[in-house]
Structure 1
């Protein structure tokens, strides 16, 4: 077993230029009680004063990389994977914040569970103002989350995997991606497939699980996850493109789960009820605003039984 003292964490931040929120994110890393981390900010936008500000922090564990041309969310995430070198890798959102004990807790449980391919620490959800927020999406996440037994709750985490975890995630992806610490080897082996921006996290979890990977799930949160209207998922939900991507992916996931011999997970992929309910909720708001065309798109997405025509890249 690898000792906790030997494990380091690469915290990778896929950013898009400078701003107050990305500086808050960096500050939360600098404030970690456990010093065994390295921070890399990979800028896919116009950096402004970000590089200079990071240099001013005077911490040799912090580095700044700028993409020579814009890569987009999927490929910038993949560059984060490619640049990581530590045993554990976190892809932290550029508007999220680590809680002060995140690194220490992750390193400790990673040493105890060398078989875990990834560790989900969970999140406190905050709004634009940085205060704790509660949304319908997050209430649904709590309802669909895989429950922990009494012994696991007392210990603070559970080790799980296989079809139960896959089926639970396909019923509703309740994981907060920036709160996940991955082992570098399975993360690099699977990586992010081109063509998916909204479900790239779910796709990664499922491919790792289907390959035999297991996961540690914390019962107490490790990060503050910022949810606001400017997010990619919120913007694409209003246009319907989010649901087109999800429908295409769930059809593929059903085939993947069937090939893995997981019928319950395959059925959850075919039904994908939380995605359909999300489309219905968006449709109601669009109807109230008399946005007839996008409302029709939402309706088709909610009742469709076949995926849309789609071409996706591969790795």
Structure 2
């Protein structure tokens, strides 16, 4: 069984599509838990109308924010495996069957990254610059399955984080031992992945496409990118990671953290938009991140 945890905030229709994608799984080895961090009046009634014993629904008495809601979801997970599904993402019908097959063949693995396709806010398959760079420059070549861990995986992710966090299946015990850092907003995923790697956890990458990751301008990370906060947070994360990699003697990983090429490239691609929009302070912050030493 897999605990599929859905920390909900945002668009109601997209959340309902995410929930229905879970209910359409061809493998029955799942339970869905939705933790509602909104005040939409019609949402509780919609879940009640599902009358589906496989779906648990909770509404927070007060807003917990992204990290607080993630932590509550983590506390509610009970099975050995769990997923932190995005409230606007889609599980294809073969998702649960795919990751359970991987877990059976690799018992005790900390993370499973299955094949992912990217969709826009309308559900249309897209292939933008960000995802093409991930795929062609940073993601490892995988045919079938591949096990990665240690410095190899750390260096790969520090060069460019090619993972899709909401699609990852985690060993619950492993992710709970690390948890989520309350001071982080947009680098929560990479921070968690790196700490698990440093604790000795491995990842299995399976090329079976079974997940649709939704990329759209309304996301928290997209909104933060052009106010400069995202890259300030990233710079601090990479600096700390570089020091830890150095202490471990992981020279390739340390170098990847200090260079953080994908993060610099992302800032560079946003620079023209900031300049065109007359956001001088943002443009300076992006230029500092793209061309600076730290």
Shorter-chain TM range is over 0.9
CA apart distance, 1:26: 0.2
How is 1:183-194 mapped onto 2 (pairs within 5 angstroms)? 183-194=171-182
Long gaps (5+) in structure 2: none
Query: For 1:207-222, what aligned pairs fall within 5 Å after superposition?
Result: 207-222=195-210
The answer as to whether partners of 2:108 and 2:171 remain within 8 angstroms in 1 is no
Does 2:288 match 1:295? no
Partner of 2:98: 105
* 1:172-222 deviation per Cα after TM superposition (whole angstroms, max 9, x unaligned): 000000110000110110111121111111111111111111111011222
Map 1:250-289 → 2, pairs under 5 A: 250-289=238-277
Aligned twin of 1:141: 134
- Residue 313 of structure 1 corresponds to which residue in structure 2? none
Question: Aligned pair 1:161/2:149, yes or no?
Answer: yes
Equivalent residues, number: 293
Aligned-partner Cα distance in 1 for 2:199–2:183: 21
* Residue 206 of structure 1 pairs with residue 199 of structure 2: no
Distance (whole Å) between structure 1 residues aligned to residue 33 and residue 227 of structure 2: 33
Per-residue deviation, 1:267: 1.0
Structure 1 gap ranges (5+): 1-7, 307-315
After superposition, the CA RMSD in angstroms is 1.3
| C-alpha distance in 1 between matches for 2:73 and 2:81 | 13
**TM-score for the superposition, normalised by structure 1:** 0.90
Counterpart CA distance in 1 for 2:292 and 2:11 is 41
Q: Is the aligned partner of 1:195 residue 2:188?
A: no
SS of structure 1 residue aligned to 2:124: coil
Deviates more, 1:8-17 or 1:234-243: 8-17
Partner of residue 309, structure 1: none
**8 Å contact kept, 2:10–2:87:** no
Shift, 1:17, TM fit:
5.6
Q: Return the offset for 1:285.
A: 1.9
TM norm structure 2: 0.96
More divergent stretch after superposition (139-148 vs 47-56)? 47-56
- For 1:46, which of 30, 39, 45 is the aligned residue? 39
Q: What residue number does 1:114 align with?
A: 107
Secondary structure of 1:79 counterpart: helix
Separation in 2, partners of 1:238, 1:255: 28
What is residue 24 of structure 2 aligned with on the other side?
Answer: 31
Which secondary structure does the structure 1 equivalent of 2:112 belong to? Answer: strand
